[in-house]
Amino acid sequence: MTYTPAKDEAACRLPDPAQLRAAPAPRLRGLAAEIRAFLIDHVCTTGGHLGPNLGVVELTLALHRVFDSPRDTLIFDTGHQAYVHKLLTGRAEQFPTLRQAGGLSGYPSRAESEHDLVENSHASTSLSYADGLAKARQLAGEQQQAVVAVIGDGALTGGMAWEALNNLGSAPGRPVIVVLNDNGRSYEPTHGALARHLESLKANGSVAGCRNVFTELGFTYFGPVDGHSTGEIEGVLRRARTLNRPVLVHVVTVKGKGYAPAETDDADCLHAVGTVDPVTGRPAGSGAGWTWTGVFGRALAEVAAERPKVVALTAAMLRPTGLHAMQQRFPERVFDVGIAEQHAVTSAAGLAMGGYHPVVAIYATFLGRAFDQVLMDVALHRLPVTFVLDRAGITGPDGPSHHGMWDLSLLSAVPGMAIAAPRDPQRVEDLLREAVTHDQGPTVLRIPKAPAGGDVAALARMDGIDILHRSPRRPLDVLLVPVGPLAQAALDAARLLEEEGIGVTVADPRWVLPVNDALPPLAARHLLAISIEDGVTSGGVGWALAQACRAHNVSTPVVPLGLPRSFISHGSRTALLAAVGLDAAGIIRTVHDALTGTTLTSQETLR
C-alpha cells in the first residue's frame, strides 16, 4: 500500500473499547486502514516507533475486542508498540504531542490511562509481570480476569522472558495468555536458535498437537496465526481464553505493515524515526552531521583494522550502537547476541579470557540489567573489556527508562573499572584507543544521544587532565570539571563569568572515574570546584571528587552539578538538560549561588 494522506480527523474518531467490541466485523478492515493512515500521518511528523506500531494494528484491535481492558490486563513488552492501544483507549487527540515534553508518552503511561500498566521500556519484562499478576489474581480469587502479555520475537530472545516462561508453564492452573508478535525482527532480522525454531513453526503451519519449545514448557500453543487478520486472531484468542491455562498464541506480523517505506526498509523497517517525509519515509531535514554514535563507529572500525584482537558485541542493536561499520569490514568479529545484555557481558568476559579485547556497545540504560555480570564476571577477574555506553545521560523523547543517567553512579563502585567521557569526536578516538590498550581491567566510554559537534582543543595537559580554559590576570576563583560533552557548556559559562571578573579554570579529566589524583591539588588552588555531569549526582563524579579532596586534605568546597535522583519524563535533551541546570546558564547560576556562600579571598593568579 502506498501512502495516501489520512482522511480528515473525523474519519479517525475511533471507537472506545466497548464500541469496538460491538463493531461489526466488516467495519474492522476500514478501521485498520484509518488507524494506519493516522499513524503514518502523525508519527512521520512527531517521530516515534512507526514500524512496530504499523505491525500491530489488527492484533491490537483483536485484543481489545476479545478482552475487556482494564478489567482484563493487557501488557505490552517494551511498550514501543502501544500506539494503537492508546488510540483505542481515547488518546487519539493527544497524538500531535507524542514524545514531547508534557505530551503523550511514547510508551504506556499509568498517569495517562487506567488501561496502561507497565511504563518500563526495557525489553523482555512482560512475561514476568504476567506471572506476578496471575499469581495475584489466583490469590485474590479473580482468575476470571484475563492476564495477557504481548511480546515480540526480539524481546523473547531476552533471558528474563525464559525465566518467566519457566514459571508460567509450571502452573497449569494459573491462566496466562502470551501473545508472541513474531515479525522476524528486532531492528535487524532476529538471529539465533530461537529465530530458527520460530521460522520452522511458521514454515510447518498450524499442525494440531504439534510439539515445540512452548508445548514442552507446558503451554497450549496456537499458531502460526495471520497477524493481519483481526477475525482469525480474535477466534484464536477467544479459544485461548476458554482454556483457563497457560497459552501461547504465535501471531505472525509484518513490521511496518501497510507502508512501503517501512516494509522495505532493510535497516530496521523504520523501527524508530524522527520527523520524516510521509511519502518516502526518509528524514525530512538535511543530514544533521555526525552523531556521537557515528564518530564511535568510524573510530572502532579503524581500531579494529589495526588491532585484530578487538571484537565487538551488541544486544540486537548493531546500527543504533554504531557497530555497522566494523561489521561490514570484519563480520566475523562482531557478535549480535539478541536482546540479551547479561549474556553479552559474560560472553565478552569469555572472549577476554580467550585472549581478545571485546568492545561491548550498549545503551547506558540497558547496561543496568547486566550490572552483576559487569561486576562479577568481568571486573572480579580484572578482564580487559571495554563498554561503550551510547545514549549516556539525558536521551530525551524516550523518557524515564531510556535516560542513561545511572551508569556513572553504578560503575563508580566497580573495583578496577576506569571510566572515560569523551568531550568531542577527537577524544572519542583517543580514549577508545587508550581503552583497548588497557589490559588491567574493564574500561568504559560514555557518549550521548546528540550531534557530535566540533573538537575542543586543550590549552595544556597536566597529569592526564586537559586544561581547556584559564583566566589570566584573574584570581583562581572557580574550577569547573565537566564530564564529557558538557565541556562546551562549561566553556560558554567560563567566558561569561570571566566578563564578571571571576577567574575560571575548566579542566577535563577525560578519565573521570576513579578521580585523577591531580584534581584535588588543582581544586586546592581555587576557592570553589564544580563538577558538571550528565548523570545522577548521588554516587557520581562530583561525589567522588569531593571524597578525593577530603582524602587529600583539600578544603575547597566541591559542588556536584548533575541530575536529580528521580525519574525524568520525556522531552528534548536540550530542554531537559537546561531544566536541571546542565547548560551555561545553569552553571553560572550554580557558581553565583556557591560564591555568595564563599568570600573571595584568593589573590593567586594562574601563571
Ligand X SMILES: CC(=O)[C@@H](O)[C@H](O)COP(=O)(O)O
Ligand Y SMILES: Cc1ncc(C[n+]2csc(CCOP(=O)(O)OP(=O)(O)O)c2C)c(N)n1
Of the candidates 36, 86, 174, 255, the residue annotated as catalytic is 255
Which helix (H) or strand (E) element contains residue 166? helix 159-168
Angle between helices 230-243 and 25-46 (to 10 degrees): 100
Q: From the CB of 325, what's the least distance to ligand X, in Å?
A: 17
Site for ligand Y in 224-253 (CB under 6 A): none
Q: Choosing among ligand X, Mg ion, ligand Y, none, which partner's interface includes residue 398 (Cβ < 5 to 8 Å by kind)?
A: ligand X
Site for ligand Y in 314-343 (CB under 6 A): 315-317, 339, 341
Binding part of the chain for ligand X, among 65-73, 92-100, 324-332, 390-398 by CB under 6 A, reads 390-398
d(CA 523, CA 17): 62
Q: Is residue 185 annotated as a catalytic residue, yes or no? A: no
Site for ligand X in 268-287 (CB under 6 A): 271-272
Which residue, 393 or 581, is less far from ligand Y as judged by CB?
Answer: 393
- What cell was used for 257? 505493515
Cβ neighbours around 302 below 10 Å, total:
16
Q: Is residue 135 annotated as a catalytic residue, yes or no? A: no
Q: Note whether 559 and 531 are within 8 A (CB).
A: yes
Q: Choosing among Mg ion, ligand Y, ligand X, none, which partner's interface includes residue 52 (Cβ < 5 to 8 Å by kind)?
A: ligand Y
Q: Note whether 549 and 479 are within 8 A (CB).
A: no
Bond prior to 175 in cis (omega within 30° of 0): no
Query: Applying CB under 5 A, which residues contact Mg ion?
Result: 152-154, 183, 185
Residue 84 in contact with ligand Y, rule: CB under 6 A: no
Residues tagged in the binding site annotation for thiamine diphosphate: 80, 121-123, 154-155, 183, 259, 341
Size (the chain), residues:
607
Which residue in 77, 188, 336, 398 binds ligand X (CB under 6 A)?
398
Residues tagged in the binding site annotation: 80, 121-123, 153-155, 183, 259, 341
Q: Note whether 451 and 394 are within 8 A (CB).
A: no
Residues tagged in the binding site annotation for Mg(2+): 153, 183
Which residue in 115, 255, 343, 526 binds ligand Y (CB under 6 A)?
255
CB neighbour class for 602 (10 Å; exposed up to 12, middle 13-18, buried from 19)? middle
Which residue in 116, 131, 153, 265 binds ligand Y (CB under 6 A)?
153
Nearest residue relative to ligand Y (C-beta): 152
Of the candidates 341, 429, 498, 533, the residue annotated as catalytic is 341
* Furthest C-alpha separation in the chain: 87
Q: Choosing among ligand X, Mg ion, ligand Y, none, which partner's interface includes residue 403 (Cβ < 5 to 8 Å by kind)?
A: none
Q: Is residue 341 annotated as a catalytic residue, yes or no? A: yes
Q: Could you write out the three-class secondary structure of 508-559?
A: ECCEEECCCCCHHHHHHCCCEEEEEEEEECCCCHHHHHHHHHHHCCCCCCEE
Site for ligand X in 399-418 (CB under 6 A): none
Q: Binding marks (x or -) toward ligand X, 69..108, rule CB under 6 A? A: ---------x-x----------------------------
Which residue in 69, 126, 181, 516 binds ligand Y (CB under 6 A)?
181
Which residue, 154 or 539, is less far from ligand X as judged by CB?
Answer: 154
Q: Note whether 95 and 47 are within 8 A (CB).
A: no
- What string of DSSP letters covers 61-104? HHHHHHS-TTTSEEEESSSTT-HHHHHTTT-GGGGGGTTSTTS-
Nearest residue relative to ligand X (C-beta): 80
b (16+ CB within 10 A) / e for 419-453? bbbbbbbebbbebbebbbebeebbbbbbbbbbebb
Query: Of 151, 153, 181, which Cα lies nearest the Cα of 55?
Result: 181
Residue 395 in contact with ligand X, rule: CB under 6 A: yes
Reduced to 3 states (helix: H, G, I; strand: E, B; else coil), residue 560 is strand
Cβ neighbours around 212 below 10 Å, total:
18
Q: Note whether 549 and 575 are within 8 A (CB).
A: no
Residue 81 in contact with ligand Y, rule: CB under 6 A: yes
Which residue in 17, 154, 297, 396 binds ligand Y (CB under 6 A)?
154
Site for ligand X in 434-463 (CB under 6 A): 449
Which residue, 396 or 562, is less far from ligand Y as judged by CB?
Answer: 396
Q: From the CB of 399, what's the least distance to ligand X, in Å?
A: 9
Per CB under 6 A, residues contacting ligand X are 78, 80, 121, 271-272, 320, 391, 395, 398, 449
Residues acting as catalytic residues: 255, 341, 369
